[in-house]
Amino acid sequence: MTKPTDLVQGTLDLLILKTIAPEPMHGWAIAQRIRRVSNNVLQVNQGALYPALHRLEQQAWIQSKWGESENNRRAKYYSLTKAGQKYLQAEESNWERLSSAIGLVLKAI
Amino acid sequence: MRRIQNIANWLRSLFRRNTVEKELGSELRFHIERQVEENIAAGMTEQDARRAAEREFGGVEQVKEECRDTRRVNYVENLIKDTRYGVRMLCKSPSFTFFAVAVLALGIAANSAIFSIADAVLIRPLPYADADRLVIIWEDASAYGFPKDTPAPGNFSDWKLRNQVFDDVAATGFGGSFNLTGQGLPEKLTGREVTANLFSVLGVTPELGRDFRPEDDIPGATPVTILSHSLWLRQFGGDSQILGKQISLNYEKCIVVGVMKRGFQFPDRETEVWTPERFTKEELANHGSHFLEVVARLKPGVSLKVANVDLAVIAQQLEKEHPDSNSKVGAFAVPLREEFAGDTRTAILMLVGAVCFVLLIACANVANLLLSRATGRRREMAMRLALGATRGRIVQQMLTESILLAILAGVAGLLLSVWGTRFLATLIPAGIAPLTGTGVDGRVLLFTLAVTLATGILFGIIPASRVSQFHLTPSLKQGGGQSGVGSGGQRLRDALVISEVALAIVLLAGGALMIRSLQNLYHLDPGFRAEHVLVMHTPLPDQKYKNLTQRSAFYDRVLANVETLPGVVAAGYTTWIPLTNAGGAMGVTLEGKPEPAPGQALIPNVRIISKNYAAALGMKLIEGRLLEQGDGFGKPLVALINQTMAKNYWPGENPVGKRFKSGRYSEKSPWISVVGIVGDIHQAGLDLPARAEMYFPYQQQDDGFSPEYLAVRASGDPMALAEIVRQQVWAVDKEQPVAKVMPLEDLVDENLSSRRMQASLLSGFAGLALLLVTLGIYAVLSFAVTQRTQEIGVRVAMGAQPRDVLRMIFAQGFKLFLIGAAIGLAAALALSRALVHLLFGVSAYDPASFASVMALLAAVAFLACYVPARRATRVDPLIALRYE
């Protein structure tokens, strides 16, 4: 059994991992991308984003590097580690299984 | 891989804290700046853009804190902060720190030192393979006064053949002296004749060469020997070609076949050479002469209890088969370690208990000090609580401080115990010390660390938990903390002092009983006067001195030479000087009395002596005469007997003139007349009762034992004669080894040394406890006086006399003392029973000892009360009332 907060936190982790999978990104861009891609449905709160990034980095799913940003400033870019890529795959299939299961239940009743 | 990265990240957060913090700051700043740009691009003014971005972001500090939390280094950082703070606090009150560290260091040092002893004697494995399966087997001849007798070869061989419980059984002969000649000065070595299987029973193999083989151990086999590592190095320079060489042991050429490993020893440290027993068939059938030490290895899974049942069954069979020699002779096995540890086991357990008590008292003392400090720091703690610190954090901080104190004390204590262990090593029985090694090593370090941490938590937890319990508002409202301590705190402090007093009484009572025992032993008449007596050991090798004439000639000439030396009062030879051999006995039959039934044989100790031995030793003549010149070879056989023999063998009669013979009636041996009765000598130990004992002149005893020890009574310092007496021996036989040259007083001292050590240690710990308790009572009362200054001021202002104030403070102090004393007395009475084995001539409930302990502690308590009470009488009401 997962508690709702765990689900939310886990979901945010999944979103972050998926978002930075193609290329390294800084925190602001990650928030922007999630919002844009989800058609403004998912608003990532900064207060949750940065602790999540730091936690994922501490757990070594992602790594960070300082680099030049699009507006010529120094920004911290996050990218997946090897372990993070595997973790993302596992989490994605987990998510799909879970959401399709939920979908089945919702349709059946 | 991920794990490693994980740890690396964690370490980076911990040690590159500043960098990580800076990065966190710029990361969040970048986010906001980027948002500002975005907002401006969307058409806001710069001011609005920034405000909107900041609003959207929320509390920067909060986000930062949450990010920090994810790094999981908070508790480490807190620990570092607490430690830094703790160090500052300790530095701020150096006298408190010094006192607490000193008190705890003494307690910890005592524990570490005693642990290292207990470890060596009781815990550490012996250096034999599967040593816990090794046992020593003894004969139980209690019926004859030898409850733990050295087994006879016949019994050994029957045990070996018939038992069902041992892998194998081996034996060593009675510790023998071997003369190593032909290698410079004649050297006397201690050696053992052993059965060929001894080393395999012990599970050891020689480092060089081979073990004994069964064919070495039969009569007529080529003499072979195995050397100890130390002898090999000392006498043969570690010669790697030693194997196969011949050495001369007791004038017999032996081939060296092996050298043992460094540090191997059995059965004691002195033994340096081993040769096969080469028992004959007749010897292996002898159930009557008891001189072996038997070691056996239990089969795997066989318990000691089962082995003892098996031995008892065999002993019963032997009783039936050999009623003459084996009636009422049992057999039992003792684990090897227990055998080695011997009597010291109880003493060491007692000391372990004592040092625990000392440490508990030290903890109580420091806890008390911390409690008073905690009271002073109430406002600080209240402030922290008010500012949002959790109670857990406060307890953590207080505990950090106390563990810091404990660690300081642990380091100091360890240094102290390094020194103390060296001093304590004398407590370890000589047989076991080098076997297991002593001193401060990893095990002691680990133990000290554990004790230190436990100590820190023990004395820290009470004040810490109290601080975290108090209510905020009253603490903040209070002024300078004058009446700051709640009744709960006072009760706790009282309880600590009471338990200190109680613990100290237990220790003091134990110390007092041990001292009384030691005094009793010193005042005991040992039956001889040890002062001014020089002793040396000159055992004559059988191969060289083959008969009585040769031996007598040696004794006659040496004694004649020595007695004419200036400064010599008397000189005599004996088989065993007192305190060197508990046994050495012989069966006798008394004339005119019925032959004793099996199991009731009369077996007194026997000593073969020269005529002036009694004078040299200062023995007392009770009745009849001592030996004379006329009691020579071919003259009627005579004997001196001791009082115990007179009383037990001829009850109600005068034994002088009575006759007895050695062995049974039927034997052809001649009758021996009792010519004198001498006082009892404590042969086996000062604390052991004398056995029946008889003395024969050496000229009249051809078989059995021959004298080995020379005793010389000097008019002055006996050791001043040592060299010249030794020269007289060598003047008679220049190859004769001379060993154990020492004053007889040394033997007496040595006999009492472990008791003296136990008594002085226990008293030392008791003294330490006394000191700590004094300080404890003093501290509590001083604190109480400070706390009650205002109250005392009011009382004085209302007309109380100094006497009343004095009485009030004393009442407070003595109430604690009396409660503690009552509890302590009850505990001491209950615990002193455990000391019974260590006491001598004093009851475990000795009223005099207990009374003196109470008096001593009462006097000390009085002093500890007096100083603060005096201070209380000097309270000036004006100042006291203005104080608040």
Would you say residue B424 has pLDDT above 90? no
CA B598 to the chain's CA centroid: 42
Beta bridge partners of B535: B711, B742
Question: Binning pLDDT at 50, 70 and 90, where does residue B485 land?
Answer: very low
pLDDT at residue B572 greater than cutoff 80: yes
Helix (H/G/I), strand (E/B), else coil: B763: helix
Q: Give A106 to chain B, closest Cα distance, Å.
A: 36
Q: What is the pLDDT of residue A4?
A: 36
Confidence check: pLDDT of A1 > 70: no
Total count of residues recorded for chain B: 884
Residue B691 has pLDDT above 70, yes or no: yes
B373 — contact with chain A (CB < 8 Å)?
A: no
Q: Using an 8 Å CB-CB cutoff, list chain A residues near B35.
A: 28
Instruction: Kindly report the nearest CA distance between residue A33 and chain B, in angstroms.
Output: 13
CB-CB under 8 Å, A74 with B37: no
Among B464-473, B797-806, B851-860, which stretch is predicted with the lowest mean pLDDT? B464-473
CA distance B66 to chain A (A): 6
Residue A15 has pLDDT above 70, yes or no: yes
pLDDT digits (tens, 9 = 90+) for A2-12: 333 444 556 88
Nearest to B63 among A28, A50, A66 (CB): A50
In this model, does residue B525 exceed pLDDT 50? Answer: yes
Beta pairing, strands B224-227 & B252-259: parallel
Domain that holds residue A39: 4-108
The neighbour count for residue B208, using CB atoms within 10 Å, is 18
- Residue A74's CATH number: 1.10.10.10
Query: Measured between beta carbons, which residues in chain A are less than 8 angstroms from residue B14?
Result: none
Tens digit of each residue's pLDDT (9 = 90 or more) over B336-373: 888 887 777 888 888 888 888 888 888 888 888 888 77
Distance CA B701, CA A59 (A): 92
User: Out of A47, A76, A83, whose CB is closest to B62?
Assistant: A47
Mutation target among A30, A36, A50, A74 for the B interface, most CBs of B within 10 A: A50
Tokens 């032997």 sit at which residue?
B318
* Of the candidate ranges B461-470, B489-498, B716-725, the one whose mean pLDDT is the lowest: B461-470
Closest-CA distance, A76 to chain B, in angstroms, reads: 6
Question: B791: which residues sit within 8 A by CB, 6+ positions away?
Answer: none
Contact B9 A58 (CB under 8 A): yes
Residue B528 three-state SS? coil
Asked whether the predicted pLDDT for residue B462 surpasses 90, the reply is: no
**Distance separating alpha carbons of residues B266 and B198, to the nearest angstrom:** 10
Q: Quick: pLDDT tens for A68-99.
A: 888 788 899 999 999 899 999 998 998 899 88
- Closest listed residue to residue B290, CA positions, set B149, B410, B171, B475: B149
- The residue among B762, B535, B583 whose CA lies nearest residue B688 is B583
pLDDT in tens, B726-748: 999 989 988 888 878 889 988 88
Q: Do B70 and A51 touch (CB under 8 A)?
A: yes
Total structural domains in chain A? 1
Torsions phi, psi of B126, nearest 5?
A: -75, 150
Please tell me the least confidently modeled range out of B67-76, B83-92, B141-150, B251-260.
B67-76
**Which of A58, A63, A73, A77 to mutate to test binding with chain B, by most B CBs within 10 Å of its CB?**
A58
For helices B378-386 and B391-424, what crossing angle results, to 10°? 140
> How would residue B175 be classed by pLDDT, with cut points 50, 70 and 90?
low
* Smallest Cα distance from B385 to chain A, Å: 27
Assess B132–A contact: CB distance below 8 Å, yes or no. no
How would residue B855 be classed by pLDDT, with cut points 50, 70 and 90? very high
Q: Which residue in chain B has the smallest CA separation from A43?
A: B56
Q: Quick one: pLDDT at residue B481?
A: 44
pLDDT of the residue at B397: 83
**Chain B residue with minimum CA distance to A46:** B57
pLDDT cut 70: percent of chain B above it: 93
**Nearest Cα residue in chain B from A49:** B63
| Distance from the A28 Cα atom to the nearest Cα atom in chain B, whole angstroms | 5
Position B247 confidence tier, pLDDT thresholds 50, 70, 90: confident
pLDDT tens-place string over residues B374-416? 777 777 777 877 776 777 778 888 888 888 989 999 999 888 8
List the single residue in A with minimal CA-CA distance to B65.
A51
**Rounded Cα gap, residues B174 and B117, in angstroms:** 29
B25-84 residues touching A, CB cutoff 8 A: 26-28, 30-31, 33-35, 37, 56-59, 62-63, 66-67, 69-72
Q: Do B130 and B203 touch, CB atoms closer than 8 A?
A: yes
The residue written with tokens 């395999």 in the block is B200
The tens digit of pLDDT for each residue in B202-217 reads 999 999 999 999 999 9
Residue B146 region by backbone torsions, left for phi larger than 0, else alpha for psi between -120 and 50, else beta: beta
Taking CA–CA distances from A87, the nearest residue in chain B reads B2
CB-based contact B533:B551 (threshold 8 Å)? no
User: Which of A37-41, B625-629, B750-754 comes out lowest in average pLDDT?
Assistant: B750-754
List chain B residues with CB under 8 Å of A27. 27, 30-31
Which chain B residue shows the shortest CA-CA distance from A71? B34
Q: Which residues of A touch B72 (CB under 8 A)?
A: 58
CA dihedral B731, B732, B735, B739 (to 10 degrees): -80
Residue of A nearest to B57 (CA): A46
- Integer Cα distance of B380 and B387 in angstroms: 11
Selecting from A27, A54, A69 the residue whose C-beta is nearest the C-beta of B70 gives: A54
Domain locations in chain B? 2-72, 131-341, 344-523+751-882, 539-737
Shortest Cα–Cα distance, B44 to chain A (Å): 18
Q: How confident is the model at residue B844 (pLDDT cuts 50, 70, 90)?
A: confident
Tell me whether A60 touches chain B (CB under 8 Å).
Answer: yes
| CB of A67 less than 8 A from some CB of B | no
Among residues B547, B504, B568, the alpha carbon closest in space to that of B774 is found at: B504
| Interface contact flag, A76 B27, Cβ < 8 Å | yes
For A60, the closest of B5, B59, B69 (CB atoms) is B5
- B842: CB partners within 8 A, 6+ apart: B513, B516, B517, B520, B849
CB–CB of B27 and A47 under 8 A?
A: no
What pLDDT shows up at residue B458?
82
A65 at B interface, C-beta within 8 A? no
Q: How confident is the model at residue B6 (pLDDT cuts 50, 70, 90)?
A: confident
pLDDT-based confidence at B241, cuts 50/70/90? confident
Touching check for A11 and chain B: CB below 8 Å? no
- Residue A33 forms contact with B (CB below 8 Å): no
B159: pLDDT confidence band, cut at 50, 70 and 90?
very high
B435 or B65: which carries more pLDDT confidence? Answer: B65
Tens digits of residue pLDDT in B637-649: 999 999 999 999 9
Per-residue confidence (pLDDT) for residue B616, from 0 to 100: 93
Q: What is the pLDDT of residues A46-59, one digit of tens each?
A: 778 888 898 888 88
For B309-323, B581-595, B679-693, which range has the lowest pLDDT when averaged over its residues?
B581-595
Interface size, chain A vs chain B, as Cβ–Cβ contacts under 8 Å: 76
How far away is chain B from the Cα of A73, in angstroms, using its nearest Cα?
Answer: 8
Any residues with CB less than 8 A from the CB of B109 and at least 6 apart, and which? B412, B413, B414, B415, B416, B417, B420
B30 vs A54, A55, A75: nearest CB: A75
Please answer yes or no on whether B70 and A26 come within 8 Å at the CB atom. no
- Pick from B26, B37, B71: CB nearest A54: B71
Q: Do A69 and B34 touch (CB under 8 A)?
A: yes
Chain A neighbors of B7, CB-CB under 8 A: none
**Smallest Cα distance from B377 to chain A, Å:** 37
Q: Is B258 helix (H, G, I), strand (E, B) or coil?
A: strand
Q: What share of chain A has pLDDT > 90, as a percent? A: 28
Stretch B29-54: mean pLDDT, rounded? 88
How far off is chain A from B17, nearest CA to CA, in Å?
Answer: 14
Higher pLDDT, B128 or B120: B128
| Residues of B (191-250) whose Cβ lies below 8 Å from A | none
The phi-psi region of residue B657 (left if phi > 0; otherwise alpha if psi is between -120 and 50; otherwise beta) is left
With CB atoms and an 8 Å threshold, state whether B63 touches A28.
no
Whether residue B520 lies within 8 A of chain A, CB to CB, comes out as no
- Which of B28, B30, B57 would you mutate first to test chain A, the one with the most A CBs within 10 A? B30
Q: Do A58 and B28 touch (CB under 8 A)?
A: no
Grade residue B100 by pLDDT with cuts at 50, 70 and 90: confident
A42 contacts A48 by C-beta, under 8 angstroms: no
Across residues B820-845, what is the average pLDDT? Answer: 87
- Give A54→chain B minimum CA distance, Å: 6
The ipTM assigned to this model is 0.86
- Residue B394, min C-alpha distance to chain A (Å): 27
Predicted pLDDT at A8: 57
pLDDT of residue B202: 93
The shortest C-alpha distance from B22 to chain A (Å) reads 12
Beta pairing partners, B444: none
- Residue B177's nearest CA partner among B284, B275, B257 is B275
Are B1 and A26 within 8 A, CB to CB?
no
